[in-house]
Amino acid sequence: MSAEALLPRTLSTEQLALRRLDSDAVDVRALYDYRSAFADSDALDWVAESAFETVWEAHEFVLDAEDRWREREGVRYLLTTDPPLDEVTDAETVVGTVDLSCEWDRRTASVRVTIRDGERRSGFATEAAEHALSLAFDRFDLDAVTLDHAVGNDPARAFAEHLVEAFGGQ
């Protein structure tokens, strides 16, 4: 199976387009503008990420995502509200990211979802996480997936518990 078939470039949900994060999918300046908005937010306090301080950091973030995909270590999708065929050039259409990291030899993966302030409780995180879990279990036939969140983030924990229950996990 090709890398493209294994880790598809685009996915669609009812509300979102998920674009594999690479230099063809997003204008680096738009990504920088999107993540820079987190500088005055607590949204990234709960995950191992921070706002970009420079456009170069955004560029490196894209290169890292491309390397991870090329090495089949996982895939990071940009979540947008515009059609999946267009390059993202406007930070306003970006609502978040979903990251699926695979450990093939252990048959496990981890999922991390980050949603922009003002877009929480929209169903975006649920749709993105469900697609990532579907990839992990249905396409990759993995045995277990963890949903990353920080200790003390009770809403994220409740979200993870909801998804675990929905997917019949423990």
Summarize pLDDT for 40-82 with one digit per residue, the tens. Answer: 555 544 444 567 889 999 999 999 999 998 888 999 998 888 7
Contact call for residues 3 and 72 (beta carbons, < 8 A): yes
Backbone angles phi, psi at 58, to 5 degrees: -65, -40
Cβ distance 142 to 74 under 8 Å? no
Q: What is the pLDDT of residues 92-133, one digit of tens each?
A: 778 888 999 999 999 999 998 888 777 777 788 888 888 888
| CATH class name, domain 3-166 | alpha beta
Indicate the pTM of the whole model: 0.82
Domain boundaries, the chain: 3-166
